[in-house]
Structures are given as structure tokens and as C-alpha cells.
């Protein structure tokens, strides 16, 4: 039913054009420079194609699933077509459901809400908090950080083999949650092997693909996972939408994630003054309220753009950037790159490191103020993993992104550089040069702490 067209060229080659690529920022040392966005792991810039598609649709925006008018029908059609596009992007099975959520965090919290009774959840301490924390109401087994992919598989196999497999004669349900690519080290996890181990022991597995989907193809059938969760804002699609896709049975058997309009098929009054509700069994069961149609459409647009650009091309170019950054950092003896699986491990464009003699917040502030480079510093919402990699006390408290180390933890925080399909070579070269100059020559400006952040002194 679409009657609108986007103005953008639909055959953009890698690197894909992103918004903000021409934005200039002031330097404390004087002048301006084009901003180098190297914090893709937190939020990737929107693809120009996504922005153009959304802008082309915006005049036709209407209520979804609610109206008889033309624009409502158009918006409903677009929303459901977006669901189909995401299903194709993920290689969903015929009976899988695609549910639109707010983010990866929301998706995994939804899945946590629909777990069967007495379900045991297995999760490595290396997970992002979005996949580490939602299971607190379940029986959770937190596994130690592995140092090789093979060790990860063996650790999971041992844990699954040791679990009580039945309760009152029935098999106890179990779920494994694992990342596809670390948001700290960028290293790829052995998802297919972990899925095989889970299924061999009667467990299911959910893949946190927040850092994997923007960099590599994700195919549910090929990986043999039961669910996949990811966020639009890391996939070059803004507007606060995410996805949970996978097996429908647990989703259909559980109470809706949110109770309200859209999730209900039929509501009737009872004679005692209460109400009876018949809930939908489709994805609508867990999508109560007016859906974020623009968010869903932006995800679908990003999925199409990445597919059209060609994964072989995108992956090859990103590997070129990864090699350049790692080689550049290796030339600076004071820099230590953080890794679980070693230098030869396959990885995406996410690299964390520490610099001898530097507080991470000070270093990140200098990159921004003196070079126009945006990176991230802190614990990256993966506190146990970063503390393990840095060798600090796992019991010491800290806040996500906090620049100041706790007493006795001089190296608590790290610096993370991340990039992707919209990153030009110049941004990477400027970053490598900046690291070398800051380490060898020092900062050109003085800095102070303000509201917990390191900022240039006025």
C-alpha cells in the first residue's frame, strides 16, 4: 500500500552514509574539526537511508491497528510489513514470532517474564547487564568468564549436566543466555556450539545480538538459537525500538508483558464486578498500547540497507578498520587491549583498552576536547567482565560509566573505541594518531572533574 518514496539513493555502497558525518565540533585548542563518532557500541548514528525513509513516511503517519481511515490502514500495513522484513533479516522459522520492543534490555526482560515455572537460567558473568540482570526472579546460575571459546562450551556443558533435570517427574526447563559479540572486547562467541550444547541437555538458548547484528549476519536457523534480541539504536535505526524474535510457545503460554489495549482480543464484565480477558496469541499479546510504528519501520529500513550493501563487503571493510586500530594501538607500549580469547579471536569493531599512567575519563576527555573524537570510558554496563579483565575486586561497587575509580582501584575503568558501516578511514587514522600523541606528548590542556566527569578546565 506504500504510496511514498524516499529521496535517498537506495544503492549506497559501504561505508554506508550516516547522519552527522559532516558535523563539526570546536576544539579547546582552537578551531573546529569534523566530529569522529567512535562510540557505535553505545548508539550507532542513523543511516541516511533510514532517516530518508522515515521522513518520506512521516506525512502518512496514522494510528496502527485502530483505524478504518486510509492512513491508519497504510500505517498498519507498514508496521506489519516491517515485522516481515525483520523476520527475513533474522532468517526466522515459519512459526517464530517477531515482537517489537523498546530495546535489547526490554526484549530480554520480556523473555524473563514468560519463563516457565522453575526455569533455570545459565548466563556467563561476561554478559552486558541487559542480558545478565533480567533473570533475578528465576533460578540463575552465573558462570565464570571463559578464556577460550572452547572453554565457554565446556563450562556450559558441565553446568547443564550438573543441573537437576526433573521436578516431580517432569523435565525442568532451562534457558541459556549468551552474547553474540562482546560489548567490551568485540570478540565473537561460539553461538552455534553453545546452542548445540544447550539443546543436547534439553535447554533453550537466547542470543543477545545487540553488538552482533550491526556487524554480521544473524540467522536464527543457521545458529539454531531459540530467540534473538537486538536494539534498533545499535543497528543504525533511532526512535527507541527493539526486537525479540523466536519460538512462540513460551510467549503464548504466559500472561502478557503489559496489560492493555492491543494485547487483548476480548474483554467482558463479570457479574461480580471484575473483568474477563481473552488475550491474543500472536505477537500482539506482548505489544500492548499504541506501537512505535516509526521505530519498527526504521529497524526494517536498516535491515534492508545492510542487506543491500552486502555483508561480505561490510564485514571485509570493518576487518580492515579493526586491523588498523589494533596495529596502531600495538605500536604504543603503554596501551593494553582487553581480551578474553586472545589476539587471534574473530571480533567486531569494538575494542577496549587501558593506558598506563592515565585515568580513562581523562584520556577520553582529551580525545574529545583536543581531537574531536567521541569514545566511551567506564565499565560499559558490564561490570563483572571489565573487572575480570582488569584484575580488580569483583565485589567492589561502581557505577556504569563512572570515571573515578573506587579507593584502591586505580585502573577500574577502561576506554572503548567502536565503529561500523558508517566510519570513514579518516576517523580511525585520527584516533590512532591521537592516542600516540597523547601518550608520548601528554594533553595540551588541563582538565578537572565536574559532576563526576572529566572536562576541560576553563
Using CA atoms, how far residue 242 sits from 24, 160, 172, 231, 234, in Å, is 30, 30, 30, 4, 10
Tally Cβ neighbours within 10 Å of residue 383. 22
Confidence (pLDDT) at 260:
87
Please classify residue 167 by burial: count the beta carbons closer than 10 Å to its beta carbon, then call 0-12 exposed, 13-18 middle and 19+ buried. exposed
**Cα–Cα dist 373/354, whole Å:** 17
> Cα 105–106–112 angle (5° rounding)?
90
Confidence (pLDDT) at 4:
45
Which listed residue (92, 381, 400, 454) is catalytic? 381
Confidence (pLDDT) at 65:
86
Tally Cβ neighbours within 10 Å of residue 332. 18
Tally Cβ neighbours within 10 Å of residue 410. 11
Q: Give pTM, 2 decimals.
A: 0.91
Pull the grid cell for residue 416. Answer: 572503548
Pull the grid cell for residue 56. Answer: 518520506
Instruction: Enumerate residues 6+ apart whose C-beta is below 8 A from 180.
Output: 188, 189, 191, 207, 208, 209, 211, 212, 213, 216, 218
Confidence (pLDDT) at 114:
96
Examine residue 15 and say whether the peptide bond preceding it is cis (omega within 30 degrees of 0): yes
Confidence (pLDDT) at 1:
38
Residue 34 backbone phi and psi in degrees, to 5: -65, 130
Please compute, for residue 447, the number of CA atoms within 13 A of its CA located in the half-sphere on the CB side: 24
Q: Which of 201, 211, 193, 250 is nearest to 227 (CA)?
A: 250
CB burial readout 64-98, b (16+ within 10 A) else e: bbeeeeeebebbbebbbebbebbbebbbbeeebbb
Dihedral over Cα of 218, 82, 93, 99: its sign: positive
**Three-state secondary-structure class, residue 264:** strand
Confidence (pLDDT) at 14:
40
**Three-state secondary-structure class, residue 223:** helix
Using CA atoms, how far residue 150 sits from 132, 146, 343, in Å, is 21, 8, 16
Confidence (pLDDT) at 449:
86
> Cα 409–450–362 angle (5° rounding)?
50
Confidence (pLDDT) at 6:
40
Is residue 67 within 8 A of residue 73, CB to CB? The reply is: yes
381 in catalytic set: yes
Tally Cβ neighbours within 10 Å of residue 166. 9
Pull the grid cell for residue 364. Answer: 577520553
Is residue 345 within 8 A of residue 187, CB to CB? The reply is: yes
Per-residue pLDDT in tens (0 to 9) along the chain, 458 residues = 344 444 333 333 346 999 999 999 999 999 999 999 999 999 999 999 999 999 999 999 998 887 889 999 999 999 999 999 999 999 999 999 999 999 999 999 999 999 999 999 999 999 999 999 999 888 999 999 999 999 999 999 999 999 887 767 677 899 999 999 999 999 999 999 999 999 999 999 999 999 999 999 999 999 999 999 999 999 999 999 999 999 999 999 999 998 988 888 898 999 898 998 888 888 888 888 899 999 999 999 999 999 999 999 999 999 999 999 999 999 999 999 999 999 999 999 999 999 998 989 999 999 999 999 999 999 899 999 999 999 865 444 333 334 444 444 444 689 999 999 999 999 999 999 999 999 999 999 999 988 878 899 98
111: left (phi over 0), alpha (psi -120 to 50) or beta: alpha
CB burial readout 215-241, b (16+ within 10 A) else e: bbbbebeebebbbbbbbbbbbbbbbbb
Confidence (pLDDT) at 273:
86
Is residue 217 within 8 A of residue 208, CB to CB? The reply is: no
Confidence (pLDDT) at 386:
93
Pull the grid cell for residue 218. Answer: 544473524
Amino acid at each position: 500500500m506504500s504510496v511514498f518514496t524516499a529521496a535517498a539513493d537506495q544503492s549506497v555502497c559501504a561505508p554506508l552514509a550516516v547522519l552527522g558525518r559532516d558535523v563539526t565540533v570546536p576544539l579547546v585548542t582552537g578551531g573546529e574539526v569534523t566530529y569522529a563518532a567512535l562510540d557505535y557500541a553505545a548508539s550507532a548514528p542513523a543511516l541516511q537511508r533510514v532517516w530518508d525513509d522515515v521522513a518520506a513516511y512521516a506525512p502518512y503517519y496514522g494510528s496502527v491497528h485502530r483505524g478504518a481511515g486510509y492512513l491508519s490502514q497504510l500505517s498498519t500495513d507498514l508496521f506489519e510489513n516491517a515485522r516481515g522484513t525483520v523476520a527475513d533479516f533474522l532468517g526466522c522459522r515459519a512459526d517464530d514470532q517477531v515482537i517489537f520492543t523498546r530495546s535489547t534490555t526490554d526484549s530480554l526482560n520480556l523473555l524473563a517474564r514468560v519463563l516457565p515455572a522453575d526455569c533455570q537460567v545459565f548466563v556467563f558473568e561476561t554478559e552486558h547487564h541487559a542480558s545478565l540482570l533480567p533473570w533475578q526472579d528465576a533460578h540463575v546460575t552465573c558462570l565464570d568468564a571463559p578464556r577460550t571459546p572452547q572453554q565457554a562450551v565446556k563450562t556450559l556443558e558441565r553446568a547443564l549436566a550438573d543441573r537437576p533435570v526433573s521436578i516431580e517427574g517432569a523435565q525442568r526447563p532451562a534457558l541459556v543466555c549468551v552474547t553474540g559479540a562482546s560489548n567490551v572486547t568485540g570478540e565473537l562467541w561460539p553461538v552455534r556450539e553453545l546452542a548445540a550444547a544447550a539443546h543436547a541437555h534439553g535447554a533453550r538458548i537466547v542470543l543477545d545480538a545487540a553488538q552482533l547484528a550491526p556487524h554480521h549476519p544473524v540467522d536464527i536457523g543457521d545458529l539454531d538459537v531459540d530467540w534473538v534480541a537486538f536494539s534498533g539504536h545499535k543497528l543504525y535505526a533511532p526512535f527507541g525500538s527493539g526486537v525479540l524474535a523466536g519460538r512462540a510457545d513460551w510467549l503464548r503460554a504466559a500472561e502478557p508483558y503489559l496489560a492493555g489495549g492491543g494485547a487483548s482480543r476480548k474483554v467482558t464484565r463479570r457479574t461480580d464486578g471484575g473483568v474477563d480477558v481473552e488475550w491474543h496469541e500472536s505477537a500482539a499479546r506482548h505489544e500492548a498500547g499504541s506501537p512505535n510504528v516509526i521505530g519498527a519501520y526504521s529497524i526494517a529500513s536498516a535491515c534492508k540497507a545492510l542487506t543491500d550493501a552486502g555483508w561480505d563487503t561490510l564485514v571485509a571493510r570493518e576487518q580492515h578498520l579493526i586491523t588498523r586500530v589494533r596495529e596502531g594501538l600495538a605500536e604504543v607500549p603503554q596501551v593494553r587491549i582487553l581480551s578474553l580469547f586472545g589476539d587471534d579471536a574473530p571480533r567486531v569493531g569494538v575494542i577496549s583498552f587501558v593506558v598506563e599512567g592515565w585515568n580513562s575519563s581523562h584520556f577520553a576527555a582529551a580525545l574529545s576536547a583536543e581531537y574531536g573524537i567521541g569514545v566511551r570510558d567506564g565499565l560499559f554496563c558490564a561490570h563483572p567482565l571489565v573487572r575480570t579483565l582488569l584484575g580488580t575486586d569483583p565485589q567492589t561497587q561502581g557505577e556504569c560509566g563512572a570515571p573515578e575509580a573506587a579507593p584502591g582501584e586505580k585502573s577500574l575503568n577502561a576506554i572503548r573505541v567502536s565503529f561500523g558501516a558508517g566510519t570513514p578511514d579518516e576517523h580511525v587514522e585520527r584516533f590512532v594518531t591521537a592516542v600516540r600523541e597523547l601518550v608520548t606528548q601528554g594533553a595540551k590542556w588541563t582538565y578537572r572533574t565536574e559532576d563526576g566527569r572529566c572536562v576541560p578546565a576553563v
